[in-house]
Each structure stands twice: as C-alpha cells, then as structure tokens.
Amino acid sequence: MVPKETNSLRLAGRDLLSRISAVMEKVDWTGFVELADMLPRAGRTFVVGAGRSGLVARSFGMRLMHAGLPAFVPGETITPAAGPGDVLVAMSCTGTTGFTAYLARRARQFGAKVVVLTAEPASPLAAEADKVVLIPAADPDIVIRAAVFEHATSLCLDALFNVLAERLKIDMAAFQARHANLE
C-alpha cells in the first residue's frame, strides 16, 4: 500500500508535468529559432533573471559556454562590458522584475540586442526588448505559474542548445574539454 503523502506527491508531480506540457505546445518556437540564429553571431551573450528564473538563466549561460560561445552573468566580477554586437537574454515570468528590466534597459543603452523570455508580452521587461519570446504560462496561482514558466523555459533553452550544438558541430571531446573539472 502506497502512503497517502507519496500518492499526493505523485499526483502533484503529474499535474505539474501536464501543465508544463500544455505550455510547451504553445511556446513561441519561431522566437527560439531566431534566438538560436543570433547567438553564434553575438560578440558576447549575457544572461539574466531573478530568483529561479535567474537560475535558469545561469544554466543556459553554462550551456552556451559548453558550446564555445562567450556567455556571462551580469553582476559577476568577471563579466565584461556590454556593447554593440552583444545580446542580453532576460527571463521573467511576469516581466515585472525591476532588476531584470533595469539590466535590459542598460544593455540597450550600450547597443546590445535584448531578447526577453516571458509569459507577459505587454510587461515592462518586454517593453525593453528587441525580441520577445513568449512562454505562455498562465495560472491564477503565481507559484504554480512561475514553476511552470521556469521549467518550460529551461526545457526550451535545452532544446535550443541541442540545435546549436548540431549547427556548430560540437564534438563530445570539445564539449567535455569545456565542462567544469574543478568539482
């Protein structure tokens, strides 16, 4: 017999997976293709988000580094200046995170292109974008909405990485040579 809590967790997990799958069916895949086209041509790519969206951004930045593309996280001490030819990828479910919108605005002021991944295309963050990529997570419960957004965004960016890896013809030896070894 399965304990009640275990069954509740299983059901909650299935519910989240179902919600994520539904959002994935409605994602702006064309926008992700356009982003995949931009990244290899960018001088540098900066990734930003706050909270869990920030963790997704960092994860994506790591994947870009694995692909041999220069990627940075604003605010880190080793992050260079942004300028023309660079891209900032900013992520926020609601698009109202002040820190993320501020960095998007600054990046544009310095001549970088700004790509925003959000569930809210009419948000303050989206207003700072050169390109908005919609990940249409919608739920009255902001915690569930944000979780679905973050997971769907992570999956979309992993898919984008897989396409980039194929386009760039990244071999496993080159990938592993760039993978962290001070673990």
Query: Could you report the per-residue pLDDT of 35-56, keeping only the tens digit for each?
Result: 999 999 999 999 999 999 999 9
Is residue 150 annotated as part of the catalytic site, yes or no?
yes
Residue range 157-179: average pLDDT?
A: 87
Give the separation between CA 27 and CA 74, rounded to whole angstroms: 26
The per-residue DSSP string of 113-143 comes to EEEEEES-TTSHHHHT-SEEEE-----SSHH
Crossing angle of helices 142-167 and 29-38, rounded to 10° = 50
Of residues 5, 25, 120, 150, which has the active-site annotation? 150
Tokens coding 86: 């660079």
What pLDDT, on the 0 to 100 scale, is given for residue 93?
97
- CA–CA distances in Å: residue 28 to residues 42, 58, 117: 21, 21, 10
pTM of the model: 0.93
pLDDT recorded at residue 177: 80
pLDDT at 6: 85
Question: What is the structure's pLDDT at 183?
Answer: 75
Asked which of 85-99, 127-141, 162-176 is least confident by mean pLDDT, the reply is: 162-176
Please report, as a single letter, which amino acid is at residue 84. P
- Alpha carbons 25 and 121: distance in angstroms, whole number: 17
Say yes or no to pLDDT of 114 above 90.
Answer: yes
Half-sphere exposure in the Cβ direction for 179 (13 Å, CA): 8
Helix, strand, coil shares of the chain, percent, nearest 5, are 55, 15, 30
Query: What CA–CA distances, in Å, run from 138 to 94, 125, 131, 134, 148?
Result: 10, 17, 21, 12, 8
64-91 tens-digit pLDDT? 998 999 999 999 999 999 999 999 999 9
How far is the C-alpha of 172 from the C-alpha of 181, rounded, in Å? 15
Q: What is the pLDDT of residue 2?
A: 65
Rounded to an integer, the average pLDDT of 133-155 is 95
Structure tokens at 137: 């997570």
- In order of their start, the domains of the chain are 15-174 (3.40.50.10490)
More reliable by pLDDT, 107 or 175: 107
Q: What is the DSSP letter of 39?
A: G
45 forms bridges with which residues in the sheet?
Answer: 71, 87
Confidence of residue 1 (pLDDT cuts 50, 70, 90): low
